[in-house]
Structure 1
C-alpha cells in the first residue's frame, strides 16, 4: 500500500485537522517545496525552481508571522531560524544556489521532525488539553497544491 502524500492527507483531514497537525502538514509542504526546487535546479529548470522557492519563502514568512512571543517564550528564537531560512531561500532563488538550498533543508528537516514528534505525542494522549498555540496567524498557505 503506497504511503499517503501530504496532499492526500490534507484532503482527508482538512475538516478535522488540529492546529498541531496543520503545522506538521505545512512543514511537510515546505520540505516538498525544497525537494522540488532542488530537482528543478538539477534539471536547470529555473522557472520551476523559482516557483517552488517562492512558495517556500511564503510558507516561512507565514510561519514567522504566526509566532506570538506573548504565548510562547521561545517564539523569538524560532523567528531567528525563520529569518535565516528566508535568507537562504532568497539566495538559492537569486543564484540558483544549491548549497544555500541544502542549508535551508538542513535547518527545516529537524524542525519537521520535532513538530511531528510533538503532534504524535499530543494526539496519543486521550482528550489532552491543547497547549497554548504557537501559531496565531490567519494566513493562507497552500499546503495542498
Structure 2
C-alpha cells in the first residue's frame, strides 16, 4: 500500500512539474493566484479549527506569493500598474496582520482580496488567449 501511495505522489509530482514547465506565462500567473486563494482559504479553515501552526504555514506561503507577484510586476508597463502594486502591498499587510493576530476576520478580508486578484488574472488570461 505504501508503494502505491509513493507511486501516486511521484506521478502527481511529475504531472505538476510538467504542467508548470510547459505553461505559458499567463497560465503560470493564473496558477500562482489560484494557489494564493487556496492558501488563504486553507489558512482561514485552519484558524477556525484553531490549528495555528497550519494557519501560520498557509499565511506565510500566501505572503510569499504576494511578494512574488509584487516583485515581478512591471507597474509602469500596464494601465493601473501602480494601483495593482498598492493592492498587492495591502493584501500582504492583511496576511501579516491575520497571522500575527490570529484573526479570522482579517483572514476572511484577505481571502476576498485574494479571490478578486485570482478572478482578475483569470479573466485577463482568458481575454489574452482570445486575441
Structure 1 length normalisation: TM-score? 0.75
SS of residue matched to 1:14: helix
Q: Does 1:124 align with 2:130?
A: yes
* Equivalent in the alignment of 1:57: 63
Q: Does 1:93 align with 2:105?
A: no
* Equivalent in the alignment of 1:128: none
Q: CA RMSD in A?
A: 1.9
CA contact (8 A) 2:46 2:55 kept: yes
CA contact (8 A) 2:75 2:84 kept: no
Q: CA distance change for structure 1 residues 35 and 9 in 2, over 3 Å: closer, same or farther?
A: farther
Q: Which has the higher helix share?
A: 2
CA contact (8 A) 1:89 1:100 kept: yes
- Picking from 81, 85, 109, the partner of 1:79 is 85
Q: CA distance change for structure 1 residues 20 and 10 in 2, over 3 Å: closer, same or farther?
A: farther
In the TM superposition, what is the alpha-carbon distance from 1:58 to its structure 2 partner?
0.7
How many residue pairs are counted as aligned between the two chains? 119
Instruction: List, as ranges, runs of 4+ consecutive aligned residues in structure 1 with deviation greater than 6 Å.
Output: none
* Equivalent in the alignment of 2:25: 19
Q: Does 1:112 align with 2:102?
A: no
**Greater gyration radius:** 2
CA contact (8 A) 2:94 2:107 kept: yes
